[in-house]
Structure 1
Amino acid sequence: MGLQVAGMGVEAAGIGFEVAGMGSEVAGMGFEVAGMGFEVAGIGSEVAGMGFEVAGMGSEVAGMGFEVAGMGPEVAGMGPEVAGMGSEVAGMGSEVAGMGSEVAGMGSEMGSEVAGMGSEVAGMGFEVSGMGSEVAEMGSEVAGMGFEVAGMGSEVAEVYMGFEV
């Protein structure tokens, strides 16, 4: 009888260790998901940065346009056409700058959204890892209970059979 109880205890301990192992696996998966979330957040930040770069380029072109416009009146002696062309270039530069600002706005919006999504995914990952840790804890408890049962079983075996296990 005692030997049976001891055997059951050892089995319970084994099951406990399996559960603990499964818990650790779940925790590992959670950390992986969290890592993926941080990657997504990084990509979002990159997209935002690209938008601001385009805006900067647009402003540069606008500056060049205004420079050319300034040169126009200087060259007025050569003909009012040149001045007209300078003003056109300045207008085009301003348009490009506007487009750049729009792209920057879109980039920062998209970047923020993607970064937000990444943070959410990371949060979910940490939740999953927390759940995994809980499962691992439960497994360890079950294993501990199993060892207790095994100990009781060997005691029973000792008392009733008169020999040690």
Structure 2
Amino acid sequence: MEGINKLPDEVVLYIISLLPLKDAVRTSVLSTRWRYLYASIPTLEFDFLATPVESHGGFMDFIDRLLIFRDRSPVDKFRLSCFYSQVVDPLHLQRWICAVIRFGIREIQIRFEDSEDVLLPSDLFTCTTLVTLKLNFHSESGFQVPAKVCLPSLKLFWRA
């Protein structure tokens, strides 16, 4: 542990970013210097499709805290997969998307099973840094696209 603590934060952050998010968060107990490093990893992936709904507990609060404690480091990728109607509060989803947009998001992937009308913030459709947008909503209604759409960096849009 002594040797790794001598490494610069950028190197430690890179090492932590190679871990699954759950394990990256666990590194916060290793030292006070590492306490919030996990909150700066560039890839935020949350996959709750394989876990029972009862075990999701406070995952919305966890994502909120993760974004609150984050420094101004960019977010390259935000991926969320879950059962929308049972797990996600639409206001939380809008807040998360707006937060990652402020962090210069490059890729957003959202997959909802059993979704109702999904309310996406209009900021998503005017994000200047977004390169990849993948939306996978298993529903009849899907989502609404606002009248004003301006995604100058978008290279890949995929909707299923």
TM-score (structure 2 length as normaliser): 0.17
Higher normalized helix content (fraction of residues): 1
**Relative contact order higher in (CA < 8 Å, ≥ 6 apart):** 1
Structure (1 or 2) with the greater strand fraction: 2
Larger Rg: 1
TM-score normalised by structure 1 residue count = 0.17
